[in-house]
Amino acid sequence: MERAEIRSRPVVAAIIVVSGLAVSFLLWLLYVHHASADFAGRWMFLPALNALLNGLCAIALCVGFYFIKHKNKEAHRNSMLLAFAFSSAFLVSYIVNHAMHGDTIFPVMAPSALFTFPF
């Protein structure tokens, strides 16, 4: 039992360090860094990257579920760490995308238009 605790300590420490670095980067990006329009135009691939990272995270979670159902704890642990990595990369990419491009403003629809049917 003690052996499992020793092996999990470096993983927990790595998760804490990576999380701290990610939060620090995102705070810098949101509150300190101001990108030019030319710079933001070069990051048009980020929505596709966000979708890819989100999909890979979902796949890693499903694979981890399969492994834990078959009592393969080591493979489950590895797939959960991979899902955490994909999810963290997605979070950074998502916030970078919104920091570079800003919000998308959609035209306001009348309340009656919400209840009309196209047929």
What single letter denotes the amino acid at residue 58? A
What pLDDT sits at residue 2? Answer: 47
What pLDDT sits at residue 63? Answer: 97
What pLDDT sits at residue 73? Answer: 94
**Residue where the block lists tokens 């990369």:** 89
**Residue where the block lists tokens 């998502």:** 94
Ranges of the chain with pLDDT below 70: 1-7, 35-41, 102-106, 108-119
Q: Measuring CA to CA, which residue among 19, 46, 60, 21 is closest to residue 102? A: 46
Token digits of residue 12: 């927990």
CA distance 81 to 5: 16
What pLDDT sits at residue 118? Answer: 58
What pLDDT sits at residue 76? Answer: 95
Q: Is the dihedral of CA 11, 17, 23, 28 positive or negative?
A: negative
Tell me how far CA of residue 110 lies from CA of 34, 103, 104, 107, 117, in angstroms.
35, 21, 19, 10, 14
Tell me how far CA of residue 13 lies from CA of 6, 7, 60, 85, 99, in angstroms.
12, 11, 21, 14, 29
Global pTM value: 0.63
Compute the 3-state secondary structure of the chain and give helix, strand, coil in percent, each to the nearest 5. Answer: 80, 0, 20
What pLDDT sits at residue 46? Answer: 86
